[in-house]
Structure 1
Amino acid sequence: MSNSNYHFSHDRSTIQLLNDLRLSYAVISTGLILLGFFWNNLTGFDWQYLVLIVGIFSANVFMFVVNDFYDAPHDSKDPVKRARNLFCSPDTRKIGKVILYASLCLSLFLGAIVSLPVLLIIVLFDLLAFFYSAPPVKLRNRLYWDWIFVFLWKTLIIAASYVYFFGMDLSAGNSFMYGTLTIILLLSLISQLDNQIRDFKVDKTNDTNHSVQRLGHERSSLLKFILLIFFFAFSFMFCYLLDLYITMILILVNISLYYFVNPNKYSHVPEFISIWIVVLFLEYFTTFFTHRQQLLFSAWIIVMVCIAVIHVKRTNLFKDRTRLIDNYPSFNETLKK
């Protein structure tokens, strides 16, 4: 009996470990390294580029783990965060430290294999991750620096990708590069704001002193609303000027979700943005595609739509909206009018 309990606990901790490390977020952030490949007209993908991808992924893992390491005293006060943070439990603290040092060393080692400029970028990335969470600097608790950090974090990943394909030649930039860079960095800031607004009450009890706590929930929500309007307007006009009509339709669908979903689920709507950003890149480069690649592009759009449908069902976006309408007849009458 004791052995079966042990194995069950061991299996569960292994699966839970993957979630606690937030590897999905590390994968998504690492995806920005593909920008250089897209900007280079989908050419230049080789084994060394794979080394770069793994190196940036390791740096992202280090960033999340080092944040948990220094947040452990605060996270231990909240049941949800305590369960997620490896350093809040004596049973997982050791493996947390192993992953912390292993991800740091691996990111530096792989960066050195690629090139000296890439190594320097990864060094800056790891230092930024450290100073974001570690006292006495702790950038996350300094007004606006937690938002500046998001820009620097994503910019360094993109810079590594750019340097790999174009070297130090800044003249290789064009309007498509600058436009997509603006879209991605704006989305990063909005996501950071959304996370801080969502955790406002919990962070307030833990004396977390980030920018949203200082600005207040109402002003921060207003700022997020303004940024979302600018973001969608800029993205739509950018796609219009480049004749990216499929992406324009997906942007309009994304915006329309704010009308159909429960207001309590609004935070889930921006999660669909990453889908049409991927389509944006693929649609832009369709002129470079062969007939087979055109078919793959069409298949990819279908896959993106399926992912969106699965996400809608998983979060019960429209079901909750229906329930809200049923519970409030006056709201239902307003919609009919």
Structure 2
Amino acid sequence: MTSKIKGLKHIIYDLSRINEWWLISAGFVLFAFLPYTFMHHGRVLDIEMFRILFTDPAVYIALLIVFSAQIFLFASNDYFDRDVDALDPGKRVRNPVCDGRVTLAGVRALLIVTAIIPLIASLYFGLLAFLFSALAMFIFYYYTAPPLRFKNKVFLDVLSHGLFVNTFPYFFCLVALMDFTVGTVFLLFAIMMRSTMAQMLQEIRDYHIDSQVEKNTVVVLGQKRAIWVVFSVYIVLFTVTTCLMLSYELFGWGIPMYYSIILILAISYIPIFRKLLKAKDYNREIERLWMGQGRTNRWQVAQYFASFSIYFILVIFLIITGYS
């Protein structure tokens, strides 16, 4: 009985990467639904608005879809990357399929269940949401699965990751709500840029292993050039955010100060890029500053805590002063 419970724990917990990704995904869902509810509540921020938000079945159906799709993505990744991950001692420990904590049959069963749930549940939001979910599940599966394995295709690896992998929770909610304003599209763009940077940094970190067995964008570019590409994406995100915020204040078109969290986070990345651009051991620095050791990264905890604390204080100030 104990072994069955442990096996179930490994399938549900280890494959799904419950900790940070579930929190991030839930945050993206709220980032989509909260402004949408606020606008449809007459732009009034009160207890009634939050009651409407947290009693809306759509929020919980969206969470079910997002969590199921994320589990499907991570389980597919661990399943089809097991041979490559086995070459790296660190990744071998983190991949529960490599060390036998999860059986191949268990992963396949999980993939079937978590593929069906988003497809059925997305019908609640209509045909477009269903088709978008089906496209996302196709990309999630073939991101690592042969014969397509987008992860091994130059440029397509970064493009598919940037457009869908980390972006799906927020992107799906926008499609479900049909909420494509300047602000929501900007935030979607920002998440895509961050997802693109994350994928390239992961490939830079794994360069020495990947170059032995497969071909991807960083293997072709080389680590140094790839770091500068990531830095360029960061500069574009920083510049676009600044320009849109200034445009809103000066001309009334763009994004208001409520989106300043992107600018605050961009500023918080300055020490990271300063270290990465000077780094000699990219694997060590990226693991320490960006990816974390498995599921934890103290630097990122401090970075995000400080950024969101500043943002929270700013939002309170904007509300008190009647900013709109």
TM over 0.5: yes
Separation in 2 of the partners of 1:25 and 1:146?
23
- 1:164-218 CA deviation, whole Å, 9 max, x = no partner? 323xxxxx6433223222222111111111111112123223x131111111111
- Residue 129 of structure 1 and its aligned partner are, at CA, apart by 0.8
Partner-residue secondary structure (3-state), 1:87: coil
1:82 to 67, 92, 96: 92
CA deviation map 1:65-116 (0-9, x unaligned): 1121111222222222222223324452133233222211222232234433
Is 1:21 aligned with 2:21?
no
**Partner in structure 2 of residue 32 of structure 1:** 28
| Cα distance in structure 1, aligned partners of 2:30 and 2:65 | 13
Give distance in 2, aligned partners of 1:270 and 1:80: 20
The separation in 2 between residues aligned to 1:26 and 1:203, in whole angstroms, is: 24
In 2: Cα distance, 1:163 partner to 1:260 partner: 37
State yes or no: 1:229 paired with 2:242: no
Structure 1 residues 248, 209: closer, same or farther in 2, change over 3 A? closer
**Residues 118-148 of structure 1: CA deviation (Å, up to 9, x unaligned):** 2222111111111211111111111100111
Displacement, 1:281?
9.5
Residues 208 and 39 (structure 1), Cα distance of their counterparts in 2 relative to 1, 3 Å cut: farther
User: Which residue does 1:165 correspond to in 2?
Assistant: 177
Gap change, CA 1:133 and 1:113, over 3 Å in 2:
same
Residues 73 and 249 (structure 1), Cα distance of their counterparts in 2 relative to 1, 3 Å cut: closer
Rate the CA distance shift 1:29–1:48 in 2: closer, same or farther, 3 A: closer
Q: Which residue of 2 aligns with 1:126?
A: 137
Partner of 1:181: 188
Q: Give the Cα separation in 2 of the matches to 1:283 and 1:139.
A: 41
User: 2:268 is matched with which residue: 251, 254, 262?
Assistant: 254
Deviates more, 1:31-40 or 1:71-80: 31-40
Aligned to 1:72: 82
Kept in 2: contact 1:75–1:82 (CA 8 A): yes
Change (3 A) 1:285 1:59: farther
Q: Which sections of structure 1, spanning at least 5 residues, go unmatched?
A: 1-5, 167-171, 295-337
Counterpart check, 1:191 vs 2:198: yes
Residue type matched to 1:144 in 2? Answer: F
Contact 1:139 1:145 in 2 (8 A): yes
CA contact (8 A) 1:30 1:60 kept: no
What is residue 211 of structure 2 aligned with on the other side?
Answer: 204
- Whether the 8 Å contact between 1:236 and 1:248 is mirrored in structure 2 is no
Choose which of 48, 52, 71 in structure 2 pairs with 1:61.
Answer: 71
Residue type of the alignment partner of 1:151: G
Per the alignment, residue 116 of structure 1 pairs with: 127
After the TM superposition, which residues 133-148 of structure 1 pair with which residues of structure 2 at under 5 Å, given as runs? Answer: 133-148=144-159
Is the counterpart of residue 214 in structure 1 residue 224 in structure 2?
A: no
Q: CA shift at 1:56, angstroms?
A: 1.6
What is the alpha-carbon distance in structure 1 between the residues aligned to residue 263 and residue 128 of structure 2?
40
Which residue number corresponds to residue 319 of structure 1? none
SS in 2 for 1:190: helix
Cα distance in 1 between the residues matched to 2:208 and 2:84: 13
Name the aligned partner's letter for residue 106 of structure 1. I
More helix by share: 1
Deviates more, 1:211-220 or 1:248-257: 248-257
